[in-house]
Amino acid sequence: MSKNSFRNITTKSSKTISSNQDETPKINEEEPIIGIDLGTTYCCVAIFKNNIPQIIVNKSGKRTTPSLITINKNEILFGDTAKNVMFINSENTMKDSKRLIGRFFKDPEVQKDIKYFPIKIIEDPYTKKPQYLIKNNETEKYYFPIDISSLILKEIKSFATNGIGKEIKKAIITVPAHFNNFQREETKEAAKKAGLEVIKIINEPTAAAIAYGFENKNNKERKVLIFDLGGGTFDVSILKIKGSEYYVLSSCGDAHLGGEDFNQRLIDYVLNQFKKEKKFENVDFYDKNNAKAFKALQRIRKETEEIKIQLSFQNEVNYDIDSLYKDEDFQFTINRINYEELCKDLFDKCFVKIDEALKLAKL
């Protein structure tokens, strides 16, 4: 991103966004600045080079990096490496930190989420914030969500430095439009702990609008609606674009609406189908103390992710897992219409936010 792009983002009242946040610091044109999309499930990093934004690939040669960390014995695994062992080491895998950062343990949304987390989440007695609990070699370690974001950002900084060939010290980071001040400040603090100075925090849909405007240069005034349904959060924003100026007309969002919620609908459906067998109807597969049931849940979690993807281009998918629980095989078929019905209220939530954004923008 050029140094003037984010200075020209304005709100409807024509005040620059930077007036509501930290003032934009002076920028050395020779010093590389990366842009980071710190997503709930995946991250992406880019740099503005030769007048175009270029994605920096990670150490696996991929353009996106899973936003998770696994503790395997005494080794900390990141990104793709962590994802490869996530389902066999789920109780030591820390993911979805973006849904917890800047929140308190007793927040109703946090309580709703942690039921589905494979890893144990506890309340820190001093800060009252959620912590991941890792049990490794009979020792216990505790990580705040800010620690996980910091470790992920440190890894991003490392492979970005290797990719560019210059040490990276500064970054622009995107966050959901609905993030509150606590969540924004903890994101900045995570970056600081990773050795990065945050030049600017930009709302994700605004960043998307800048990218759209950059690729579709036009001096005519346009109004653009950004629909950003990510892995864990949802944003909808309406912006007016005129040349290189961007005016935010409205922003709405849901901090707990994303791909993970669509996955969970499928997981719960599969569990309900399996529990139609009378001998399994009272089994709590979310009970972390029931090792066999919990292991079965992780297998279901892995399979349903694939099924969701397959239903994007197939009308019907056959589900077949051998010895799912207590040597019981499980088979069933689901079609796209069934799945869409399961998720109908999630789709409806998206359109409620669109209506809110249109009303706020007086459109």
Give the catalytic positions in this structure: 37, 98, 204, 228
The dihedral built from the CA positions of residue 231, 54, 2 and 212, taken in this order, carries a sign that is negative
What contacts 164, CB < 8 A, 6 or more positions away? Answer: 32, 34, 47, 56
User: Which CB contacts under 8 angstroms, 24+ apart, belong to 46-51?
Assistant: 47/160, 47/164, 48/1, 48/2
C-alpha 128/C-alpha 238 separation (Å) is 36
67 three-state secondary structure: coil
Q: Taking the CB of residue 83, how many other CB atoms lie within 10 A of it? A: 19
What contacts 196, CB < 8 A, 6 or more positions away? Answer: 153, 157, 168, 169, 170, 171
Please give the radius of gyration of the chain, using alpha carbons only, rounded to the nearest integer. 22
As a dihedral over the C-alpha atoms of residue 265, residue 121, residue 230, residue 227, rounded to 10 degrees, the angle is 90
**Chain centroid to CA 136:** 26
Question: Which DSSP string corresponds to 225-272?
Answer: EEEEE-SS-EEEEEEEEETTEEEEEEEEEETT-SHHHHHHHHHHHHHH
C-alpha 240/C-alpha 218 separation (Å) is 12
Bridge partners of 52, per DSSP, are 49
As a dihedral over the C-alpha atoms of residue 220, residue 225, residue 227, residue 228, rounded to 10 degrees, the angle is 60
